Amino acid sequence: METTLILFKPDAVEKGLIGAVLQRFESAGFRVKGLKMMHLSEDVLKEHYAHVADRPFFPEIVAFMQSTPVVALALSGEDAVSRVRDLLGPTDSSKAPAGTIRGDFGTNMMVNVCHASDSAEAAAVEVARFFAEGETF
């Protein structure tokens, strides 16, 4: 069993997609381990997006990710990281096939409904970043 992190991005929050997307994850057999809504600070975003924090487009990411609260979700299940990413589809929603979450609801590379951990190691770090001890069950 793995636990992975999903962040419902501002587009999912604004469009009222949280329930529909969460239903897809639960229907696929995943279990909710933690769920909360929060505003993200610039410091958290710099840490979370450290791999692109020095790029010229980083301020756009910060502005987008701070435009509404986001919803952090810790999900567990067998092969959770890879299975969640398969359900989401490619990061670029414009290339995601219909039937995937991003293909059905996303717009582009940034406005793509959800962030999901890309490895079990990243998931452990990301879950700890967004959930304090005692906030996952």
Query: CA 72, 80, 12 angle in degrees (round to 5)?
Result: 35
Q: Catalytic residue among 39, 48, 51, 115, which? A: 115
Burial of 1 (0-12, 13-18, 19+ CB in 10 A): exposed
Residue 114 near residue 12, CB atoms below 8 Å:
yes
3-state secondary structure of 64: helix
Is 51 catalytic? The answer is no
Active site residues: 115
